[in-house]
Amino acid sequence: MNTTWNPAADGVLHLPSGRLVRGRGLRRPLPAGPEPEFALHLLGRRPEPVEWDHRWVRWPDFWLPADRAGFAAALRTLLDRAGQERVEIACGGGLGRTGTALACLAVLDGVPAADAVAYVRRHYARRAVETPWQRRFVANFTTEPCPQT
């Protein structure tokens, strides 16, 4: 049974493969409607507990993920689950870290890295991916598996 998001719901990004992923800011109330089944939280500190399956990647506000290989692995898990489940990516405000992660997810889904920021700004939020180093991170993001360290 496919239980993904309503494509017209706020914050839902439609990937080229047809998968749907919701982006949101954790400082705002949980949107009305169904809850996610899996979430990737991108925060500098461990997030508050939630009722659904989730993964935390330590990522300070306005910066980049502390564990880039772990981040890439978490994105791959999220992309795989997005075909059958309601998945979301969330940070404090829902634009910088979330936008950067959504752009990297778009790369994994087939959007060229050079076009991924523009794709997310067009289909998710025009202010997504806030800093020059976040834009550079997306431009250099690869679909190749990360080496194990």
| pLDDT at res. 144 | 59
Q: How far is CA 103 from the centre of its chain?
A: 7
In the chain, what is the straight-line distance between the N-terminal and C-terminal CA atoms, in Å? 37
- Residue count (the chain): 149
Q: In order of start, what are the domains of the chain with their CATH numbers?
A: 12-139 (3.90.190.10)
Within 8 A by CB and 6+ apart from 34, the residues are 3, 5, 86
pTM metric for this prediction: 0.93
Within 8 A by CB and 6+ apart from 82, the residues are 4, 15, 19, 20, 21
| pLDDT at res. 43 | 96
| pLDDT at res. 2 | 53
| pLDDT at res. 3 | 75
| pLDDT at res. 142 | 81
Give yes or no for a contact between 47 and 62, defined as CB atoms under 8 angstroms apart: no
Q: Which residues of the chain have pLDDT under 50?
A: 1, 146-149
